[in-house]
Structure 1
């Protein structure tokens, strides 16, 4: 998988769409409809997410959901629980 400074250059067929988020790219897998966070090295980090709320970006955070639990994630991939 190749990545440029601005996003995915080549998106493998198994992924249907992507969202750029600073140093991360979220890829949505066609087979399971989950979102995967991928770092600049092309490595999948964290567990897959059910939802990415790209419209909830606050500074360097984005809201994500996994198993009915919401988190804010920073651009390094660290998760913060939403109460």
Structure 2
């Protein structure tokens, strides 16, 4: 991940990180440690009980640094790789 700067500098000195959720998050709670809305990157996440022939799942990626950084408040790029087995 590369973060080149924020417009309002809300992030202070905290390093940015990505949090993934299954629902759209507008609150800072998604960025709190052990948030129940966040998907864990350690281990695996079961998204459906049975794999249908066609599978669609929306994942939301939130950029956090001292709270959720709004989409229009940062510039840069985030690289994400997903393995589906």
> After TM superposition, is the score higher than 0.5?
no
Q: Which has the higher strand share?
A: 1
Structure 1-normalised TM-score?
Answer: 0.23
Structure scoring higher RCO (CA < 8 A, sep ≥ 6) equals 2
Structure 2-normalised TM-score?
Answer: 0.23
Max radius of gyration: which structure? 2
